[in-house]
Structure 1
Amino acid sequence: MSQMDNKKKVVENLNSIFNRYSGKEKLENEIEKLQSHLLEMEIDKTRLEKNENNTKKAIAAKQEAEQKLNEATVRVETLSYQLEELKNKGTNENSFTLIEEISPTIFEPYIERLASINSGNDSFITAYITHKQMQTNEIQTKLANHLDQDTLQLLKKINTNTGYVLFYDNMKLVCEVIVPPIPITKSSLEIAGSFNVEPLTKLLAREMTVCVLATHAGESLIGISSDKNIFDEDMVIRSSVKAKHTKGGFSQRRFERLRDEDISHHADKVRSALKDLLSNSIAEIDMMFLCGDIVLAEHIVDEMNLEIPLMVRNIDARIEKHDTDNILRSIFSCRRYRL
């Protein structure tokens, strides 16, 4: 059998080879083999080009070899892409088994049950992590000797500006993270026979008066609350704001300009009402929560030069006509992650 026939046989077998492999390791091995075949075919191609007996048969064989070579190259690229996808998928396999909001009414029985769990030895980890520690990646140093890599990777995925509390049993019967609605100010790490829930309970029981700004284009809520459950006073500010334009062209640009003017007018109304609310408030405001359309809310407060600490809450801040207190309940809910 000639060298050209051998080459053809190798190339023709490529398809069946590809179909045998689907796993990550097999893909890597197959790509290596294919790259070796490609090199051999490149050498054969060069030899054909230098062949002095440039007959029609040789030309046809050369063209066929080039076609097969191109096809094999495409397949190698395809397999390489699939391999990369598998690698990426492998890095994203770890995910939270549960993410949910714990409302203030549910939090008390939740934390009592957590506190009631005891171990005969010091196998429970309680860690209070501040937002600053999260930013500096100090969490990795603090917990690296106590947690497995999967858990550490999941902790990196938590995005919060208030810090979080980790409750972790080294047998993984309990692997919980609680993100509070207000910032954790003091960090700690404790390994004991039970979980230390006291700092979290005290944090959420802290007496404070808050102002809420929940903004939407055309309808926004401002309110003040001293007990985190109901508003002492609140108001909804409404304005006429055009809906978004769906067509293109000059009419859309003009329409969007008019819509922007409507939104700007609404922001001015909300800002004026917020100034009046704050100036007439008897109690000192400890914190202001921004929710809803955060960009609009920040635009409103940016021009007010407030000295009140601001907290952004990404919640479902729907303004319900007969239940504006639902926004308060959402603001003071904790987020729970099960690792």
Structure 2
Amino acid sequence: MLDALLGRASLKERIDELEEKNERLRNRYEAESERRSEAATARQDAEERVNRLEDRIAQLEGELEQLEGDEAGLSVRRRERLRGSRLEAVVDRLASFHTGPEGALTAVLREDEGSETLAEEFDVDLETPLGDRAALVDEAAPCVLCLDDAGLIAAALEPPAMPDRALEDDSRVAWDDRFRFEREWFLPTGRYALALVRTDLFALGTYEDGDRVDYRGFESDVKGNHSKGGFSQARFERIRDDQIDDHLERCREALSERVDDGDRLYLAGQRGVVETLAEDASLEPAGTAAVDATGDPKSALEDAHRSFWTAEFRAF
């Protein structure tokens, strides 16, 4: 009665209505957050599996190409992933090749480029030296194609650090008396820095001709992918995302402090994390790669360095 006389009854009813509406909105927000968290967790799990299976996929693709090539009468003569001394030997052999003026073609092919690109944009006819095998070049991109006009050498390498050009004049296609490429596209040469980044780990090495001369690494306290109980999955994911953001900020600070101006920087690690850091305009990495490197920071960096400097080779 007193509440009604003082007008408080209607206010209480309004408060109850607003609280009920607020609860519905909160439940809707929690449900949406949980759906997004589940999607983010599933995406991260998938990225980790992709990193572990990349080498296996490349091997199976090579076997599939061989089978399809047998049916069509076309196949690459050789396909393998090269690293270390084996990669160096192949690069040196290609670099030692000499022929007559404009007898050696070097072409930097980007994703989705191939024989048609060379014919239409650069007036390069691959069918003359390669015949039907010219179609195999389309499957090799992105790559650096090395081909002589007699068809004696026809090979493609997908370098760890994909170049934007083949010559100093910014051309991606060049005819010369030798193949025009730089060793640093394929091999660890000169001074450079390579950073391994995961959601909970960072390791940075500075190298001289492949030998590490400086190192910094750390791990961050980041929660796992799933809540162990105690609060909602949505809240758990928000806390985890904040921890990852803090970790990435530490990574940026470490890179800005330890990477000297002029040093080439390569980023390797979890695909999503690498892409996030690569978008930072101040870093400008010379190359990136998704690699599966586990363990403590220093040993994981060694694995990442070895995996990064791996090139896929195809002989047509």
Q: 1:127 aligns with which of 105, 125, 132?
A: 105
Indicate the percent of aligned positions where both proteins have the same amino acid: 20
Match of 2:88 in 1: 108
Taking a change above 3 Å as real, the CA distance of residues 153 and 259 of structure 1, as seen in their structure-2 partners, is farther
Taking a change above 3 Å as real, the CA distance of residues 117 and 309 of structure 1, as seen in their structure-2 partners, is closer
Contact 2:105-2:179 within 8 A present in 1 as well: no
Contact 2:110-2:141 within 8 A present in 1 as well: no
Q: 1:310 aligns with which of 286, 291, 315?
A: 286
Q: Which of these two proteins has the greater Rg computed from alpha carbons?
A: 1
CA distance in 2, matches of 1:185, 1:113: 18
Taking a change above 3 Å as real, the CA distance of residues 313 and 96 of structure 1, as seen in their structure-2 partners, is farther
Taking a change above 3 Å as real, the CA distance of residues 111 and 169 of structure 1, as seen in their structure-2 partners, is farther
After the TM superposition, which residues 125-204 of structure 1 pair with which residues of structure 2 at under 5 Å, given as runs? 126-131=104-109, 138-141=117-120, 142-148=124-130, 150-160=132-142, 163-167=143-147, 175-182=154-161, 183=163, 184-186=165-167, 187-189=173-175, 196-197=178-179, 199-201=181-183
Amino acid at match of 1:294: R
Offset at residue 336 of structure 1 (A): 0.8
Match of 1:29 in 2: none
After the TM superposition, which residues 69-108 of structure 1 pair with which residues of structure 2 at under 5 Å, given as runs? 96=76, 98-108=78-88
Q: 1:209 aligns with which of 171, 186, 191?
A: 191
**With structure 2 as the length reference, what TM-score do the two structures score?**
0.57
Amino acid at match of 1:332: W
Contact 1:169-1:175 within 8 A present in 2 as well: no
Taking a change above 3 Å as real, the CA distance of residues 296 and 154 of structure 1, as seen in their structure-2 partners, is same
Deviation string 1:75-130 (CA, Å, 9 cap, x unpaired) is: xxxxxxxxxxxxxx89x9666565432223223333455678999xx9xx743112
Taking a change above 3 Å as real, the CA distance of residues 148 and 165 of structure 1, as seen in their structure-2 partners, is closer
Deviation string 1:127-158 (CA, Å, 9 cap, x unpaired) is: 31124697595323413442556533322223
**With structure 1 as the length reference, what TM-score do the two structures score?**
0.54
Offset at residue 299 of structure 1 (A): 2.4
CA distance in 1, matches of 2:272, 2:217: 19
CA distance in 1, matches of 2:223, 2:184: 46
Match of 1:337 in 2: 314
Q: 2:200 aligns with which of 211, 218, 233?
A: 218
Amino acid at match of 1:299: T
Name the count of aligned residue pairs. 232
After the TM superposition, which residues 257-296 of structure 1 pair with which residues of structure 2 at under 5 Å, given as runs? 257-278=238-259, 281=260, 284-296=261-273
Contact 2:291-2:307 within 8 A present in 1 as well: yes
Query: Is there any run of 5+ residues in structure 2 with no aligned partner, and where?
Result: 1-67, 168-172
Q: 1:244 aligns with which of 218, 222, 225?
A: 225
Taking a change above 3 Å as real, the CA distance of residues 126 and 200 of structure 1, as seen in their structure-2 partners, is farther
Residue 231 of structure 1 aligns to a residue in which SS?
strand
Residue 306 of structure 1 aligns to a residue in which SS?
coil
Larger RCO (CA under 8 A, 6+ residues apart): 2
Amino acid at match of 2:270: D
Query: Is there any run of 5+ residues in structure 1 with no aligned partner, and where?
Result: 1-88
Offset at residue 316 of structure 1 (A): 4.3
Matched, 1:297 2:278: no
What is the RMSD computed on CA atoms of the aligned residues?
4.1
Contact 2:274-2:290 within 8 A present in 1 as well: no
Offset at residue 209 of structure 1 (A): 2.4
Contact 1:292-1:315 within 8 A present in 2 as well: yes
